[in-house]
């Protein structure tokens, strides 16, 4: 079994390049949705606390089983801790043996941006040249990278109430192939863009996009709201929009549609095969993060482990000689 830590993943990303890594992930996530019927699907198992949430996200095809443990504690930043930490286990279906333990903190950020990219690029047909991003926290840099490789030279209008977050974002995206414009009002600029990506992290119901502001058929990726009681979009806007979901059973509990009934529901696995035509109403991707995306990224890392074995550690007791005798692996012959 291989152990792939944060440093190993960073080295792999550098080995092939950030842009190619993101492009590869977008393609892997896309192909997973294209081959939707080959997977076993179930909503994530979650335990909710006043401070945050801890979740298990399993996904499996006929060959590989992947499960991700992940938390989300928005107030951790005040403690000097990350708000999200993830861990994945990758196992062979044929014998049940775990093949890889993988840090999923960095990879969750990559795969979330990749899933947004799949929606924006492959699930709908509207031309996107000007995009707004609301919320410049940890996810924003990865979404900017995704936009730079899928929509070269896109004009990106960004908004955040935290000046330090803006400064961080501008520094991290300085060399990307996007034109970034900082704005001071969502309402004033929202009808000048083709799409909006929301990436806020507050664990409450908010309306960072109000229905009365939207005067055109915007494409919206609502990425930040992904748990019961946490939403970003005005329910009145949901009610006059078509909504794309990853897995309806999970989205009804955690997504924007927990607050309101959409005009029409589309499924991402269908939309990537038959993209949604331009509508006369808003089109919203109600992104909650689904396990098939983690399965895609773990499969990708597993394949990279085969190419870069020097970057990872091997860990597992050798029980092949006596597979039923776990006791002997302790190295203690008997009682004293």
Interatomic CA distance for residues 234 and 162, integer angstroms: 22
Q: Domain boundaries in the chain?
A: 2-107+292-316, 110-289
Confidence at 227, pLDDT banded by 50, 70, 90: confident
Cβ distance 142 to 113 under 8 Å?
yes
Mean pLDDT of 215-228: 90
pLDDT on residue 228: 84
Strand order in the sheet with 264-267: 179-182, 155-159, 130-134, 195-198, 219-222, 283-286, 242-245, 264-267
- Catalytic residue, chosen from 103, 226, 234, 294, is 226
Across 216-236, b (16+ Cβ under 10 Å) vs e yields: eebbbbbbbbbbeebbbbbbe
| Beta-strand runs (E) in the chain | 2-4, 45-49, 52-60, 64-72, 84-92, 98-103, 130-134, 155-159, 179-182, 195-198, 205-209, 219-222, 231-233, 242-245, 264-267, 283-286, 313-314
pTM of the model: 0.93
Q: What is the pLDDT of residues 177-196, one digit of tens each?
A: 899 999 999 999 999 999 99
Burial class (CB in 10 A: 0-12, 13-18, 19+), 67: buried
- Is 234 in the active site? no
In this model, does residue 172 exceed pLDDT 70? yes
Q: What is the pLDDT of residues 236-279, one digit of tens each?
A: 999 999 999 999 999 999 999 998 999 999 999 999 999 999 99
Q: Pick the closest to residue 120 from 284, 252, 253 (CA basis).
A: 284
Cβ distance 168 to 144 under 8 Å?
no
Task: Assess if CATH 3.30.1780.10 describes domain 2-107+292-316.
Answer: yes
- The 3-state DSSP class for residue 291 equals helix
Q: What is the pLDDT of residues 101-125, one digit of tens each?
A: 999 999 999 999 999 999 999 999 9
Q: Pick the closest to residue 52 from 38, 71, 33 (CA basis).
A: 71
Strands 219-222, 179-182: pairing is: unpaired
pLDDT on residue 309: 86
In this model, does residue 316 exceed pLDDT 80? no
Among 3.90.420.10, 3.40.50.970, 3.90.79.10, 3.40.50.720, what is the CATH number of 110-289? 3.40.50.720
Task: Give bridge partners of residue 180 from the DSSP assignment.
Answer: 156
């Amino acid at each position: 079994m291989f152990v792939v830590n944060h440093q190993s993943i960073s080295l792999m990303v550098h080995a092939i390049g950030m842009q190619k890594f993101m492009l590869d992930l977008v393609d892997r996530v896309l192909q997973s949705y294209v081959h939707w019927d080959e997977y076993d699907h179930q909503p994530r198992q979650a335990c909710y606390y006043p401070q945050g949430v801890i979740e298990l996200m399993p996904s499996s095809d006929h060959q590989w089983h992947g499960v991700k443990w992940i938390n989300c504690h928005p107030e951790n930043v005040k403690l000097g801790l990350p708000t999200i930490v993830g861990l994945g286990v990758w196992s062979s279906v044929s014998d049940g043996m775990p093949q890889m333990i993988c840090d999923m903190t960095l990879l969750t950020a990559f795969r979330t941006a990749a899933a947004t990219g799949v929606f924006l690029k492959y699930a709908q047909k509207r031309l996107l040249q000007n995009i707004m991003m609301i919320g410049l926290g940890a996810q924003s840099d990865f979404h900017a990278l995704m936009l730079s490789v899928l929509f070269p030279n896109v004009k990106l209008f960004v908004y955040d109430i935290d000046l330090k977050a803006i400064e961080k974002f501008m520094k991290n995206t300085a060399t990307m192939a996007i034109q970034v414009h900082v704005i001071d009002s969502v309402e004033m600029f929202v009808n000048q863009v083709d799409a909006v990506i929301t990436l806020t992290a507050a664990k409450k119901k908010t309306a960072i996009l109000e229905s009365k502001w939207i005067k055109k058929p915007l494409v919206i990726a609502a990425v930040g709201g992904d748990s019961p009681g946490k939403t970003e979009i005005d329910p009145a806007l949901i009610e006059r929009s078509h909504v794309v979901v990853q897995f309806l059973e999970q989205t009804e509990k955690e997504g924007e549609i927990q607050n309101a009934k959409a005009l029409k529901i589309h499924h991402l696995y269908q939309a990537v095969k038959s993209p949604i035509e331009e509508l006369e109403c808003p089109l919203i991707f109600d992104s909650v993060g689904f396990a098939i995306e983690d399965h895609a990224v773990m499969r990708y890392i597993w394949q990279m482990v085969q190419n870069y074995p020097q970057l990872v550690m091997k860990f597992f007791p050798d029980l092949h000689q006596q597979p039923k005798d776990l006791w002997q692996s302790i190295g203690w012959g008997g009682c004293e």
